[in-house]
Amino acid sequence: MTDVLDLLSAEDVAMLKVKGYEFQADQVGGSVHLIIKNYPMTEHYTPQTVDLLLQLPANFPTIHPDMFWTYPEVRRQNGTYPDRADQFYDHAGRRWQRWSRHLSPGRWRPGTDNLQTYLGVIRRELKKGT
């Protein structure tokens, strides 16, 4: 098993630990798949906690991640799927729900932005409740 420090920066590992996240990282092809366990969702969705999957590209954080995935599947409080979150991806024996969210051009600042920045992007998307 690969040590997480071989896959993520020491800064990112420290941030995840400070925030109290339980996480694991695996090398999959040219990317790192980071799973944050028991990630809290906003009040707009059910269930209230999920496992969050991020696929970090080989040159992360120079290159930004794209999209994120949740397990188990998430629905709005009214029972419908969130916008652009009705596709699924099989990984590590589970069926992950893909949230098709993309950063606008110029929104990622290589050398400044990092995993904490990207988790902030995800949190803002979830707060929209769309």
Q: What is the mean pLDDT of residues 38-64?
A: 95
Q: Write down the pLDDT at residue 2.
A: 59
pLDDT at residue 6 is higher than 90 = no
Rounded to 10 degrees, the C-alpha dihedral 88/35/112/18 comes to 150
pTM: 0.93
Helices (H), 4-108: 10-18
16-45 tens-digit pLDDT: 999 999 999 999 999 999 999 999 999 999
pLDDT at residue 90 is higher than 60 = yes
pLDDT at residue 127 is higher than 70 = yes
pLDDT at residue 83 is higher than 90 = yes
| Residue-by-residue DSSP string for 98-110 | EE---PPTT---T
